[in-house]
Amino acid sequence: MKIRHYITLLLIIISYSGKTQSDSLAASQLSALQNQLSQFEKNRVADSVRKAILTDQLSLLTSGDVQKKNELMAEIKKLEAQDSIRIDRLSAQAMQLRQSAGRYPVILKTDTLFSIYSRSGATRPEERAKDISARIKTLYKDDFLVLDSIRSSESDYTTDIVCQDVVIMSITDLDAMIYNKTRQQLAEEYTGIIRTAIETARKDASLGRLLGRFGLVLLVIAGVWFLIILMIRLHTRAETYITSKKDVWLKNLAYKDYTFLSAEQELRLIYFILKVLKWFLIALILYINIPLIFSIFPFTRGWADSLFALIWMPFRGVVNAVWNYIPNFFSIAVIVVIMRYFIRFVRYIFSEIDSEKLKISGFHPDWAMPTFSIVKFLLYAFMFVMIFPYLPGSDSGIFKGVSVFIGVLLSLGSSSAIANIIAGIVITYMRPFKTGDRIRIGEMTGDVIEKTLLVTRLRTPKMEEITIPNASVLSGNTINYSAPAKNDGLIIHSTVTIGYDAPWKDVHQALIDAALRTTGILQAPSPFVLQTGLEDFYVSYQINAYIKEVNRTTSIHSDLHRHIQDVFNERGIEIMSPHYRTLRDGNTTTIPADHLDEGYKPPSFRISSNPDQ
């Protein structure tokens, strides 16, 4: 709230200082013109004396002195021409001053009679206007005033408008020059204006006129009331008529399966528009008639002008602003249209690269659309820079201050977002993965379902959706399982531990056969086995196999393990995972019964003794 008050005070100070400077400039121009006028009077007196002397000399010459007569006549004409030039120059300056100088109205009640522009002696223009208004008001209040007693009187340096012994005002040469008239002409005009104003004001104040105005006010109020009632009834009838025709006129506004507006919504919208129109017309009627009522009485006519100005001045200002802004609007439209078609051309080039119709050495096709997004952003930013000077208010301090404030907010509040955007751009050109790839980021493994400038989204084999900020992706390690699978295939592996009693060649072959039975494992390159350790109780065997369907890694692993169990059971090889120790004498083997020979019986316990002990 305090900031708003400070801004308001600042605007008032600026406007006041601007007005003061304007008034000071006009005052200086008036003072300079008065000085010129004073000098003009001195020159005119000197020229008049010189002209009188020349005229006397001319009258003394005889008819034979033709050359001397011509010289004197030429000098007299020169003096007259100089005087005419000075008058024209002063008149032009006075007319120009009338456009720039402040005017101070002479007022009777609320009516402006005429305006004062210049000072008279030491009296300033505003003081002259107030004094003249006060004297006219005094004459108006004089019940014994005879209007014909108001007349003009000529003096040496001014023309006075007087009433008996009272000087109402004095008209100077500067006053007359401002209106491009003589002092006598201006005095006669002002005399008629003053007489008419006093006579009109007296008639307006008469009892009969006052009663007539009250009657006129009542008539206007009755007319306004009639119009408002008429508007309300028309509104009600319109609603009733539309309601009766709604099934015929109103249909659902739909496109394919989407309904923009139902018939009921359209009806409510029409009701709303009718209501707004009704209240707008009522407000318009009231607004037009209230100033009309105020204009009936002389003492309230100023209120009517103020009410009209409250709406008309802003409306006129808006219309003028829109009209003056039309050239800038066309400039903006041309810039937008040109940039729009240029962006379409750029999009076409990058789409050709993306579809691999256009190949550029060192530029990968999957860079095309991300690069286009960056170029499009830069082009739009450049377009905004070009448009900015044409925006309304772009050169104002408030507009610039708001722009700086928004910029500071964005820079302080979006540091992490900007870091993610930059990381997203870097990741795009690093090409560590593409949409659809199976990757591992940190502890998370899944298929890439979306890449944006801010985040990367994964879907895990358990159908979980994980969102990872690009800054985290860039700062960590990324494993791409899909990239190598497209060429030679991805190697998956699994480890089993088998006892030392099983021949390693049999174990190798069993693991390879189990892998070849698994759907999704490639026959070529062929699976292979690595012995990864000779432990205390068992040997570690690792089966490695190639796959192409990376997104099925989990299911392929599961099938591989199932087939390993089947093959090993078929071939009588026990899997020692987890390892365990057992006494074989008299114990049943761990191989499932359906893989044992028919009639298999566990061996009996063999007990031996040492007779010597």
- Dist CA 38 CA 432 (whole Å): 92
pLDDT for 55 equals 75
Q: Which amino acid is at 444?
A: M
pLDDT at 559: 94
pLDDT at 315: 76
Asked if residue 41 has pLDDT above 70, the reply is no
pLDDT tens, position by position, 265-314: 888 999 999 999 999 999 888 877 877 777 777 666 667 667 767 767 77
DSSP codes joined into one string, 425-464 = HHHHHH----TT-EEEETTEEEEEEEE-SSEEEEE-TT--
pLDDT bucket at 11, cuts 50 / 70 / 90: very low
Query: What is the pLDDT confidence band of residue 157, given thresholds at 50, 70 and 90?
Result: confident
Q: What is the mean pLDDT of residues 490-512?
A: 91
pLDDT for the residue numbered 14: 33
Note the pLDDT of residue 36: 56
What is the average pLDDT across 128-156? 84
- Res. 383 pLDDT band, cuts 50 70 90: very high
pLDDT band at 600 (very low <50, low <70, confident <90, very high): confident
Q: pLDDT averaged over the chain?
A: 80
Interval 188-223: pLDDT, tens: 999 999 888 888 877 776 666 667 778 888 888 898
Q: What is the largest CA-CA distance in the chain?
A: 195
Q: What is the pLDDT of residues 504-559, one digit of tens each?
A: 999 999 999 999 999 999 998 999 999 999 988 889 999 999 999 888 888 999 99
pLDDT at 374 over 80: yes
Contact yes or no for 423/474 (Cβ under 8 A)? yes
Evaluate if pTM is beyond 0.75.
no
Q: What is the pLDDT of residues 221-246, one digit of tens each?
A: 898 999 999 999 999 999 999 988 88
Report the alpha-carbon distance of residue 317 to residue 305 in Å, rounded. Answer: 17
Q: Which residue has the higher pLDDT, 503 or 77?
A: 503
Residue pLDDT, tens place only, 553-597: 889 999 999 999 999 999 988 887 655 565 566 667 767 777 777
Residue 2: pLDDT over 60: no
Distance CA 371, CA 429 (A): 9
- Establish how many alpha carbons lie within 13 A of residue 105's alpha carbon, considering only the half-sphere containing its beta carbon: 7
User: Please, which pLDDT band fits residue 393 given cuts at 50, 70 and 90?
Assistant: confident
Express each pLDDT in 158-197 by its tens digit: 888 998 888 889 888 777 777 778 888 888 999 999 888 8
- Highest mean pLDDT (candidates 14-18, 34-38, 141-145): 141-145
Judge residue 21's burial from the number of C-beta atoms within 10 Å of its C-beta, 0-12 exposed, 13-18 middle, 19 or more buried: exposed
**What is the rounded distance in angstroms from the CA atom of residue 255 to the CA atom of residue 271?**
24
The percent of residues above 90 in pLDDT, for the chain, comes to 22
Residue 23 — very low, low, confident or very high, per pLDDT cuts 50/70/90?
A: very low
Instruction: Please compute the mean of the pLDDT values over residues 416-424 and round it to a whole number.
Output: 82
Phi first, then psi, for residue 450 (nearest 5°) are -160, 140
Per-residue pLDDT at 101 exceeds 70: no
Nearest to 211, CA basis, from 134, 294, 296, 128: 296
CB–CB of 419/383 below 8 Å?
Answer: no
| C-alpha span between 39 and 46 (Å, rounded) | 11
Q: Which helix (H) or strand (E) holds 511?
A: helix 504-517
Written as six digits, the tokens of 479 are 């494993």
